[in-house]
Chains A and B, each alone.
Chain A
């Protein structure tokens, strides 16, 4: 099955600086890579995602890059703000061959606790 590794597990960044979180995956058939942000005691929320036919995607201060050859993807947050402090999870879709495509699932990375230092 798919295995997603995420680094670092904790990251502290001065407010205004950039933060980068990296993930690697094992299943070359994976084709969808979302990033979720989870604040303390709250639900995971999608912040950005990327598909395998795209190398980079940006949304304001957030960007994601994907290297399919190397099987890694990264989250970049620029001009960090205190409200960016949270746990971030990467994930990869694990597709299933055959007719039962309905049993696809996401495999999550282990999470990165990002702390923005004012």
Chain B
């Protein structure tokens, strides 16, 4: 049974058209992460929530925003997608902070920008 669910699996958007990717979890984990993964590269952390506390990576563009309305759901908003934002976006969760508990990844949303 899927524990970290990402929707949709594939998303196509137009250059500059806002898009939202969603992630939900059935694990009741405190921490939720958003990663960007480009082809043949490692996942790159964009930001994460520890409960309601938002932690943004210093090099995450302002174009990327996130919301976590409750424990189960987390959203990634890309306000004005550019061609360089085409990538796989991975959501992950962990029960506690990164050094204490493993991260469980969702299957990802592959974003294409036309």
Contact = CB atoms under 8 A, between A and B. Distances in A.
B75 interface: no
A108 to B, nearest CB: 4
Interface of B: 30-31, 33, 40-45, 48, 50-51, 53, 55, 90, 97-100, 102-108
Contacts, number: 63
A104 interface: yes
A93 B43 contact: no
Given A102-B50, A108-B42, A43 B105 contact: yes
B43 A44 contact: yes
Nearest to A108: B42
A56 to B, nearest CB: 19
B107 A89 contact: no
A43 B107 contact: yes
A103 interface: yes
A103 B99 contact: no
B103 A46 contact: yes
Nearest to B102: A46
Given A43-B90, A110-B41, A105 B105 contact: no
Contacts of B41: 110-111
A114 B41 CA distance: 14
Contact of A110 (B42, B97, B99, B102): B42
Given A89-B42, A110-B42, A111-B40, A95 B107 contact: no
Contact of A106 (B50, B98, B108): B98
B100 A32 contact: yes
Contacts of B45: 105-106
